[in-house]
């Protein structure tokens, strides 16, 4: 039986035979190429005319039977797996399954603060300060819920002696790419340099977190803590004010600080460390010295010292037998005139009176008297008429009681 046509060489021409053409077509398989890619290393299974199992981030399988295929992505810890998908492979065609695993990735980070440093970097001993740091979800999925962030402090930038000092609860989810500032009000008990950091999704140093997450390097929770930030804790300070009641008054402040000053204008000392401040006033001649005074300075509550110098004083009286002028020199300089004058509240000390000349009279000699506190001194000056003053029948100044012929009525009155 002829099964094909003979060619010029006497051989069967298989291609020309319709019988063999149909046979070859019957036994030939239709195939295509299947490619699989994913954003992370993951395993998967493809079900269809054939079953294919693979893993990694990229794989290509050729000469696969045509038909409908469905890929199922396996779970990866910390990620949400891609949904399964279905595609149809045609003869000599190609299909690609692309899978994107998504997960939150919490970091104490912002573009402007990539190390996640805590602010502020200064504080005052014993005074609460609001510490803050940025937590950003740098992943590809939301956190799905709130979480807790931990504040820790240590003695150096390596975290030596780290202790937990407080937490901040984020009550709502953080979307992919979103940021939340976490905060803690904390009072550092002692002055000096201390190091603080924030760890996202941790309620304590031993907590592994509640948000399943992973990052591009696959370290999951390992990148949740920011850098240790140096915070300078200073001693609390306040303001001290001081003055004296007289311009010559001066003082020294000790204890909380070491300062000096003088005068009646109030002097202000700022940024003085809190504590007991003692002021000592210096003596001033002629005045009582204010007593030493101690006050306790606290932050935000200024204290004021006023030194009241009380002068030693007494009374000076001046009398003369005629109306005359005079000058008193001593702790104070006093001028006056007339026959009688009283001067109160004069500084204590030694005074000298000088009587001014009066025509026709010999003025009294100068006198020295010492005035004590609360005492009284009296300068009494007697002007003596010169020769030939009496007997001119004229009652002149200073003659009353001295020249009876010139001033008979004054003599009679006396």
d(CA 174, CA 186): 25
Q: What pLDDT shows up at residue 337?
A: 96
3-state secondary structure of 251: strand
Largest CA distance in the chain: 202
d(CA 372, CA 316): 11
d(CA 82, CA 100): 6
d(CA 262, CA 269): 13
Q: Residue 348 in contact with residue 365, Cβ under 8 Å?
A: no
Q: What pLDDT shows up at residue 220?
A: 60
Ramachandran sector of residue 109 (left: φ over 0; alpha: ψ -120 to 50; beta: rest): beta
Q: What pLDDT shows up at residue 338?
A: 96
3-state secondary structure of 204: coil
d(CA 123, CA 173): 31
Count the neighbouring beta carbons within 10 Å of the beta carbon of residue 278. Answer: 14
Q: Residue 273 in contact with residue 258, Cβ under 8 Å?
A: no
pTM of the model: 0.60
Q: Residue 84 in contact with residue 71, Cβ under 8 Å?
A: yes
d(CA 293, CA 277): 8
251-256: long-range contacts, CB 8 A cutoff, minimum separation 24:
251/279, 251/280, 251/281, 251/282, 251/305, 251/307, 252/279, 252/280, 252/282, 253/277, 253/278, 253/279, 253/305, 254/278, 254/280, 255/294, 256/297
- How deeply is 171 buried, as exposed, middle or buried, from its count of CB atoms within 10 A (0-12, 13-18, 19+)? exposed
Q: What pLDDT shows up at residue 134?
A: 97
Q: What pLDDT shows up at residue 311?
A: 83
Residue 90, CA atoms < 13 Å, CB-side half-sphere: 1
3-state secondary structure of 3: coil
Q: Residue 349 in contact with residue 370, Cβ under 8 Å?
A: yes
Question: In angstroms, what CA-CA distances link 408 with 395, 398, 414?
Answer: 9, 14, 10
| Low-confidence stretches of the chain (pLDDT beneath 50) | 1-6, 11-12, 14-27, 216, 218, 411-414
Q: What pLDDT shows up at residue 219?
A: 54
d(CA 60, CA 50): 15
Q: Which domains, ranges and CATH numbers included, belong to the chain?
A: 31-99 (2.60.40.1120), 106-234 (2.60.40.10), 237-311 (2.60.40.10), 313-382 (2.60.40.1120)
């Amino acid at each position: 039986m002829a099964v094909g046509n003979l060619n010029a060489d006497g051989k069967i021409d298989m291609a020309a035979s319709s019988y063999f053409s149909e046979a070859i077509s019957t036994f030939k398989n239709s195939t295509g190429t299947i490619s699989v890619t994913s954003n992370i290393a993951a395993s998967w299974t493809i079900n269809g005319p054939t079953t294919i199992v693979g893993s990694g981030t990229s794989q290509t399988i050729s000469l696969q039977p045509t038909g409908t295929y469905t890929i199922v992505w396996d779970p990866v810890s910390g990620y949400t797996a891609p949904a399964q998908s279905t595609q149809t492979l045609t003869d000599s065609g190609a299909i690609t399954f692309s899978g994107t695993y998504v997960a939150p990735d919490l970091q104490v980070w912002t573009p402007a603060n990539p190390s996640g440093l805590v602010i502020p970097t200064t504080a005052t001993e014993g005074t609460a300060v609001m510490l803050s740091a940025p937590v950003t979800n740098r992943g590809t999925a939301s956190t799905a819920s709130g979480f807790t962030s931990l504040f820790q402090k240590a003695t150096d930038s390596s975290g030596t002696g780290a202790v937990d000092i407080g937490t901040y609860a984020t009550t709502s989810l953080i979307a992919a790419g979103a940021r939340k500032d976490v905060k803690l009000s904390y009072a550092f008990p002692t002055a000096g340099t201390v190091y603080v950091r924030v760890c996202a999704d941790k309620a304590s140093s031993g907590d592994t977190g509640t948000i399943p997450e992973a990052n591009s390097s696959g370290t999951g929770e390992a990148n949740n803590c920011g850098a240790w930030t140096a915070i300078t804790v200073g001693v609390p300070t306040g303001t001290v004010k001081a003055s004296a009641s007289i311009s010559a008054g001066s003082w020294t402040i000790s204890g909380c600080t070491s300062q000096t000053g003088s005068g009646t204008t109030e002097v202000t000392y700022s940024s003085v460390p809190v504590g007991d401040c003692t002021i000592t006033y210096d003596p001033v001649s002629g005045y009582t010295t204010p007593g030493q005074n101690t006050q306790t300075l606290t932050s935000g509550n200024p204290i004021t010292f006023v030194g009241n110098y009380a002068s030693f004083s007494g009374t000076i009286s001046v009398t003369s037998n005629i109306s005359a002028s005079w000058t008193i020199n001593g702790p104070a300089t006093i001028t006056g005139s007339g026959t009688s004058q009283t001067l109160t509240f004069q500084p204590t000390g030694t005074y000298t009176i000088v009587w001014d000349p009066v025509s026709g009279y010999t003025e009294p000699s100068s006198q020295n008297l010492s005035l004590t506190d609360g005492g009284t001194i009296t300068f009494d000056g007697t002007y003596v008429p010169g020769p030939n003053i009496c007997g001119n029948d004229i009652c002149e100044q200073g003659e009353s009681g001295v020249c009876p012929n010139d001033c008979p009525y004054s003599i009679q009155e006396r």
